[in-house]
Amino acid sequence: MSDLISRQAAIDALNGEIEITGRTNAEAIKGYVRLVKDRLERLPSAQPEIIRCKDCKYGVDYYHDGSCYCAKPGYELLYFDGSWEFYCANAERREVTE
């Protein structure tokens, strides 16, 4: 089982004072800490993006009654109790056009 932790908290923990007095390899240790921080910053987020029907490219008001329907191909126009706040794992963010 993996734990969800704050990426920033892990980086902050590395930023704490590192006691390296009396070590001959102090610069190597500092370099390793920089490497670990860089790797932490590049890790993908463990928290999935939540996309609600109102922001999904498949959410449509098919019958013009104010209700949300899912028009994703293969879903045959699913009805989610009309809520535009519903979300699912198959949502894809709608492109914003200005």
Q: Is residue 62 part of a domain?
A: yes
Task: Give pTM, 2 decimals.
Answer: 0.52
Tokens of 15: 């930023």
Distance between CA atoms of 55 and 25, rounded to whole angstroms?
52
Same domain as 56, residue 18 = no
**Tell me: the pLDDT tens digits for 6-28?**
888 888 887 765 665 666 677 77
Q: Is residue 53 part of a domain?
A: yes
Same domain as 36, residue 60 = no
Q: Is residue 2 part of a domain?
A: no
Same domain as 92, residue 65 = yes
**Tell me: the pLDDT tens digits for 22-79?**
666 777 778 888 888 898 888 888 777 899 999 999 999 988 888 888 898 888 888 8
The predicted structure's pLDDT at residue 57: 92
Query: Domain range spanning residue 34?
Result: 7-42
State how many domains the chain has: 2
pLDDT at 4 exceeding the cut of 70: yes
Q: Is residue 77 part of a domain?
A: yes
Same domain as 97, residue 54 = yes
Q: Is residue 38 part of a domain?
A: yes
DSSP code per residue over 36-56: HHHHHHHSPPSSPPP-BGGGB
